[in-house]
Amino acid sequence: MDPSLPGSQNYSTVSEFILIGFSNFPQHFLLTFFLLFLLMYLFTLLGNLLIMGTIWREHSLHTPMYLFLCALSISEILFTVAVTPRMLADMLSTHRSITFVACASQMFFSFTFGFTHSFLLMIMGYDRYVAICHPLRYNVLMSTRDCARLVSWCWAGGSVMGMILTLIVFHLTFCGSNEIHHYGCHVFALLKLACGKGTAAVTTGVILVCVTALMGCLFFIILSYVFIVAAILRIPSTEGQHKTFSTCVSHLTIVVMHYGFASIIYLKPRGPHSMDSNTLLATTYTVFTPFLSPIIFSLRNKELKNAIQRSFRRKFSSLGF
């Protein structure tokens, strides 16, 4: 960065970082992981595109719940595209450097789409709460305009969070080593390279912002399900209870998986873990979770599964099969 630019003294003199997340793996392991992660990445893209295409074509799915699911699939695709292609390229390369600007961009997009994903899961919980606890007011409370507004707020909130956190982190000075012990520009791996008296305060601030936002979303999801479970228990027939709860299973499974893997990565005790095990553990959130998401929604959501099957039958019948 040009030191003659105004305010450039607040930024790092580092022009690039080295991503060493997979550098210690044997070559034959790298090829195996590359093929596995590539297949999971492609399946993630195709699975989410299939969900979006099915919702677009099937008029019976033009409801608030599937509008939110479509927005969730978009955020899933964009989050995966922001992280995984770079990781795959580095697994086959010996030159694993990333420029300062590219690193900041990757962090911004991963934060933006990650937070947007959490916000969308929260409003999907609210949608299930309204549908089950206030069914007579559902069309009023979840009108098309209100749903579009909620989705817009999720994307705006994710973008603001991504911008604020990225600017805070990259306002620090980076000195000494430029090796990031991760396969991407992960915020906590990057903060370890920062120096100066403001580093500890920024690290604490980033942790508080992330935890507050994510735990806030989780709190509202849990609160929604407390009311949902109470409403389901008031249904007299077991069949009615099962049918009502089945509309929540796919969303609840994704929430447990999303927060479960995130907790394993970010809240695990700091111990004598090898860098290789930490690298593989991080892929559960960036690769494995997005891979499972379309599978869960396609298999656990009966209405969506039937719509996908109808689409395939129409496609094959039109081809003469």
Query: Residue 321: its pLDDT value, please?
Result: 56
The beta-strand segments (E) located in the chain are 16-19, 97-99, 173-174, 179-180, 194-195
**Structure confidence by residue, pLDDT tens digits, 90-110:** 888 878 888 989 999 999 999
Q: Which residue has the higher pLDDT, 31 or 2?
A: 31
Range of the domain at 20: 16-302
Q: Is residue 260 part of a domain?
A: yes
Q: In the prediction, which pLDDT does 97 show? A: 86
**Per the domain annotation, does 314 fall within a domain?**
no
Residue 4 lies in a domain: no
Question: Measured between alpha carbons, how far is 83 from 71 in angstroms, rounded to an integer?
Answer: 19
In the chain, how many domains are there? 1
Classified as helix, coil or strand, 273 is: coil
Contact by Cβ (8 Å): 287, 40: yes
9 inside domain: no
* pLDDT exceeds cutoff 60 at 213: yes
- Would residue 5 count as lying in a domain? no
End-to-end CA distance of the chain: 61
Tens digit of each residue's pLDDT (9 = 90 or more) over 40-80: 999 999 999 999 998 998 888 888 989 999 999 999 999 99
**261: confidence class by pLDDT, cuts 50, 70, 90:** confident
Average pLDDT of the chain is 85
pLDDT cut 70: percent of the chain above it = 89
Does position 268 have pLDDT exceeding 70, yes or no? Answer: no
Which CATH number goes with the domain that contains 60?
A: 1.20.1070.10
Q: Is residue 32 part of a domain?
A: yes
Is residue 142 in a domain? yes
160 in a structural domain? yes
